[in-house]
Chains A and B, each alone.
Chain A
Amino acid sequence: MVDFSVGQILWNLLLAARWTVVLSAIAFAGGGVVGLALLTARLRRWPGVPTAVSAYVHVFQGTPLLIQLFLAYFGLGLFGIDVSPWVAAGGALTLYASAYLTEIWRGCVDAIPRGQWEAADSLALSFGEKLRHVVAPQALRIAIAPTVGFLVQVIKGTALASIIGFIELTKTGTMITNATFRPFTVYACVALMYFALCWPVSAFSKRLERKMRRDR
């Protein structure tokens, strides 16, 4: 048994929290890019695409994130593809986030009245111009709050990456517990860390939501 002071525990967790932040950032940025691409493809209504995107969303929303991580890490290994925990966790979380974000944003786009599309159509705007100059600026206003809210889910979701050996906040907590045999103290500190990451984001989302309502 190694003796860690609470200060040392917190310090080590703080170092590990960096990787939680990095993984969240990868998932969010990657998920944002893929989600946006899926949304655009869906809005273009290319034959088969809306159905395919909807199936993709259902698959990722209908299965546990943990299983998705297992499949990315162990599943690909079965085919002889060696994936590091980094690639597996980053990839799985990106796909997971993209499915949710594309669905959230689709809802926001759907909230734009049909008349806006029709007015843009009748002014001869192209699809890209309609999206960029008419629909996106309006959808963005509605999207900010739920998008930031989802970011909190992603941050907490990264904890599951610890299961496939990705050393982030939760994994580090487990390792320190194994060394100190003080699970309550250590996990309480871990929870505190997550709270310190998520709470400002939630508060920011709430503030945005209030601001949006005021602006109306």
Chain B
Amino acid sequence: MTADSAFSIVDIKQLRKRYGTNEVLKGVDLDVKRGEVIAIIGKSGSGKSTLLRCINGLEEFQEGTLHVDGQPLKHGDAKAMRELRQHVGMIFQGFNLFPHLSVGRNVMLAPSLVKKTPQDVNDATARRLLARVGLAEKFDAWPDQLSGGQQQRVAIARALAMQPSVMLCDEITSALDPELVGEVLKVVESLAEEGMTLLMVTHEMNFARKVSDRVVFMHAGRIHEIGPPEQVFGAPRTPELQQFLATLH
């Protein structure tokens, strides 16, 4: 256990989160190792997005501890949060590209401000990352000129530009037309192959089964079942997971 923790990149212990009296996370423990790909599944309202958003401090939690790369998450400490967030990239369901900046400048904004990357290096990195997500020719385009799938791939490049150790994906294909889902998942899969630590909340069960090392099933604010995809999808132990999987077909 202690040896494991030394290698864990995200370490969550007894995490509790309340909105007023409504407790949405009821003591979550999760230990993610470097390079691991974790899929988080569950019904809406089970707390899966909230858990993900706690990891980079978009949501505050009331009890428990959370470490990323050995650093504790401290709300209210702007400097510590800024440091921690440089290790954690996030991709959103709604892309959230900055509409007033061109695609290239979307990717370059944070490295130039936060990491003070020199302009020429930053430019080259942005072009390389956009090429990697298959959008080399869109450097000077505007976000609203792109399809949803293209926007989401720009968002991935933007998050990668900060060279995060962990990438959080919050239902990143849920807002896409079905024919555009594949191009985004392909990029995510390539990230997984290159050893990026990924935590993704997803409804793409086939993708979760194919790419993830472990699957987390959230139910009523707790991790209800956790294990390798073959086990979680092939031999669910609890009635809640069995029922959840049954509703998908």
Chain A residues in contact with chain B, CB under 8 A? 113, 115-116, 118-119, 121-127, 129, 133-134, 137-138, 141
Contact = CB atoms under 8 A, between A and B. Distances in A.
Given A121-B58, A123-B110, A133-B109, A115 B92 contact: yes
Interface of B: 56-58, 78, 82-83, 85-86, 88-90, 92, 94, 96-100, 109-110, 113-114, 155, 158-159, 162, 168
B82 A137 contact: no
B86 A124 contact: yes
Contacts of A123: 85, 109-110, 114, 158-159, 162
Interface residues of chain B: helix, strand, loop or mixed (majority): mixed
B177 to A, nearest CB: 19
Contacts of B56: 121-122
Given A119-B92, A126-B82, A134-B109, 16 more contacts: A113-B94, A116-B98, A118-B90, A119-B96, A119-B98, A121-B56, A121-B58, A122-B88, A122-B90, A123-B158, A124-B86, A124-B114, A126-B78, A127-B78, A133-B113, A134-B98
A123 B159 CA distance: 7
Nearest to B112: A133
Contacts of A138: 98-100
B114 A122 contact: no
A124 B92 CA distance: 15
A162 B22 CA distance: 58
Contacts of B58: 118, 121-122
Nearest to A216: B144
Contacts of B113: 125-126, 129, 133
Please indicate which of the listed interface residues A115, A121, A124, A141 has the most CB atoms of chain B within 10 Å of its own CB.
A124
A133 B108 CA distance: 12
Contacts of B97: 119
A201 to B, nearest CB: 26
17 contacts: A115-B92, A118-B58, A118-B96, A119-B90, A119-B155, A121-B56, A122-B159, A122-B168, A123-B85, A123-B114, A124-B82, A124-B114, A125-B110, A126-B82, A126-B113, A133-B113, A141-B100
